[in-house]
Amino acid sequence: MVSEAQAQRLPANYHKTHGTRQFYACYWLGEDRLWGIVYKAKSARNALAALKSCRKQLPDGERVYVILDNLNSHRGKTLVKWCEDNNVELCFTRTYGSWANPIEAHFGPLREFALNNSNYKNHAALSRALHAYLRWRNANTRDPRVLELERKKRAQMRGEAQRRWGHPKRKAA
């Protein structure tokens, strides 16, 4: 891990010759467990595949609540119909409301442990590194470094939103 005095840098990659990838992450609040899947693009089909992987990880029959942002690919007719048929309820955060999504705090440690100061040769290597971090993190949920980075990310998000958990939005003076 790099100290705070050192810069957290990624090399400039202005020319993405192999395109970009999208990481769909899932967080099971009750078990404090993360998993994820990497796809080539954001789409309703890939969002549905990610939801299906979530459903497979969780006990059958239990209602699953999925918190999502308001991306239009999360609202496809096929996706909504599948959710209705599989006891999955979609809960959308408002625009600029990422601070209200519990998974967002876990992206700070993920960035620190898997992405900062890295230079993966290809998407497969990046995907392996992300999944290696997820396996390590799920085995070390109470690691003090992970907990500290999660606290920092939550504080950062609350500061950007100028909100405190459970408190109404302040009125302008």
Please determine, for residue 84, whether its predicted confidence score (pLDDT) is greater than 90. yes
What tens digit of pLDDT does each residue of 116-144 get?
A: 888 888 889 989 999 999 999 999 999 99
Task: Calculate helix-pair angle for 77-85, 44-57, nearest 10 degrees.
Answer: 20
pTM of the model: 0.77
Degrees, nearest 5: CA angle 59-109-24: 50
Q: Write the class of the CATH domain 22-161.
A: alpha beta
Q: Scanning the structure block, which residue is given the tokens 């993920």?
A: 110
Q: Which two tokens stand for residue 40?
A: 């080539």
Q: What percent of the chain has pLDDT over 90?
A: 31
What tens digit of pLDDT does each residue of 91-108 get?
A: 988 887 777 888 889 998
pLDDT at 7: 62
Confidence grade of residue 15 (pLDDT, cut at 50, 70, 90): low
Domain borders along the chain are: 22-161
